[in-house]
Amino acid sequence: MNLLCELIEMVKVVSPDDGDVFGSLVLCGEDCNWDPVVFDMLIKAYVKANMIEQGFGTFRRSVEVGFVPSVVACNYLLNGLVKLRCVDRCWEVYEEMGRIGIHPNAYTFNMLINVLCKDQDVDKVNEFIEKMEEEGFDPDVVTYNTLINSYCRKGRLGDAFYLYKIMYRRGALPDLFSYTALMNGLCKEGKVREAHQLFHRMVHRGLSPDTMSYNTLICGYCKEGKMKESRSLLYEMIGNGVRPDSFTCRVVVEGYGKESKLLSALNLLSELERFEIPISPDIYEYLVVKLCEENRPFAAKSLLERISQYGYVPDIDVYNELLLSLCKCNYVAEALALKAEMVNKNIKPNIVTYRALIDCLCKIDKSMEGEYVMKEMVKFGVPPDTAICKALINGYCKEMDINRAESLLGFFAREFQIFDTESYNALVKVLSENADVATLMELQDRMQKELELQRKMPCVP
């Protein structure tokens, strides 16, 4: 088996596109009489190497030369096809099995039932199962679990629990999968309490909950905003030696996030770190962004600095969130410093960065500084957009710097083909309130000429 895997690896290296191991084996076989079982192994090896297409091809060609693959090889293949969602191919394999007399076993049926459950209605599945039972197949715990899961996903809890009861009678005792599926179904219906009761019953019956069953319940509590319960379950699981995974951490942190209890989330993460549970950078990033959204840019910044020590490198979007938050809270100096830091760290500020900065500067009557930033972005090859034009013109108008507003309007038109009616109207409005008609007419005249000049110019894409 390992030898064959290596053989495939070799063929992949030598000729990745048309490494025809099967053909070579058949050719060699004429001289050295292979045990046909190598074809069986080849199918498995291909599936293991994630070369499902080749595995399927080998299956078909083996059958063509008269070899009958084992049911285990077929199951390997089916499993590979299911994972790639090649439903039609699954049924091709199944039909071929029937045609050449390979008897499907419980694994085969369970995988096929799973396929049916995923893309058919459950009643069709039951027809299939009845037919299988006539062929001597006895539904086992996996079959029941698959069905229970399918019912729960469709909100048919009554049917799911009916099967759960049947399981005892049929001697297929419910396992962790069964309970987790049922708890998940209950949680989806907003019945976390009942799910928790079921959890207790499960423990009482001697099953030890694993990460998945804890996660299901914790997730259910989080969805209902019951963070106290989530938290105590999290501690319970750690106490029982079940390690929280990235899903657990994320669900709880996001649960706190939804309740705007970011401090609790931060505290929890520190606790988890103390238990040496690895926290993925995504979770920290979520918190950083969330703190920004809740107008706590300094908390966000210090968190960012803390996790940077672990080697986390924020991307432009995270930086922008922080910068936007600083701007929104009117901490312009800090925002400008952050932009400088970005440049230092070789993270190029983009249009979003500049738009926020300019907008903020203009709003606090520092349009001149805004214009300075605008010039900088142009220098760095980031062209300004209409929003930036609006911000600057409105800013200058508010500061009654009509001349700069007008010349800037011309600049945007000339250099960047930005003709913003709103900005123009703002200028006209402030002028009409503060100047005589003649001045106004002169402005309109000049702008008109500017426009005509633009139209005559060749279009620059």
The contact set with DNA (CB under 7 A) reads: 44, 71-72, 75-76, 79, 82, 105-108, 110-111, 114, 140-142, 145-146, 149, 153, 175-177, 180-181, 184, 188, 210, 212-213, 215-216, 219, 223, 247, 250-251
DSSP conformation letters of 409-427: HHHHHHHH----HHHHHHH
What tokens appear for 30 in the block?
Answer: 């004429």
Query: Within 13 Å of residue 306, how many CA atoms lie on the same side as its CB?
Result: 15
Given the complex with DNA, which of 249 and 413 has the nearer CB atom? 249
CB 82 to DNA: min, Å = 6
Given the complex with DNA, which of 116 and 405 has the nearer CB atom? 116
Q: What is the distance between the alpha carbons of residues 244 and 249, in angstroms, rounded to a whole number? A: 7
Given the complex with DNA, which of 82 and 338 has the nearer CB atom? 82
CB 85 to DNA: min, Å = 12
CB 399 to DNA: min, Å = 39
What tokens appear for 441 in the block?
Answer: 């007419």
CB 275 to DNA: min, Å = 19
CB 126 to DNA: min, Å = 17
Q: Minimal CA–CA distance to 367: which of 416, 414, 426, 318?
A: 426
CA angle 192, 195, 197 (to 5 degrees): 115
CA angle 104, 20, 43 (to 5 degrees): 20
* Contact indicator for 437, 452 with CB cutoff of 8 Å: no
Given the complex with DNA, which of 150 and 423 has the nearer CB atom? 150
Residues 6+ apart with CB under 8 A from 73: 40, 41, 43, 44, 59
CB 166 to DNA: min, Å = 15
Given the complex with DNA, which of 209 and 349 has the nearer CB atom? 209
Q: What is the distance between the alpha carbons of residues 8 and 20, in angstroms, rounded to a whole number? A: 9
CB 287 to DNA: min, Å = 15
CB 219 to DNA: min, Å = 5
DSSP 259: T
CB 398 to DNA: min, Å = 36
Given the complex with DNA, which of 187 and 327 has the nearer CB atom? 187
Dihedral (Cα; 209, 211, 215, 218), 10-degree rounding: 60
Give Rg (Cα) of the chain.
33
Q: What is the distance between the alpha carbons of residues 285 and 270, in angstroms, rounded to a whole number? A: 15
Given the complex with DNA, which of 289 and 402 has the nearer CB atom? 289
CA 114 to chain centre: 24
Instruction: Please state, in angstroms and as integers, the Cα–Cα distance from residue 171 to each residue in 199, 201, 204, 209, following that order.
Output: 21, 18, 19, 21
Given the complex with DNA, which of 116 and 358 has the nearer CB atom? 116
Given the complex with DNA, which of 213 and 367 has the nearer CB atom? 213
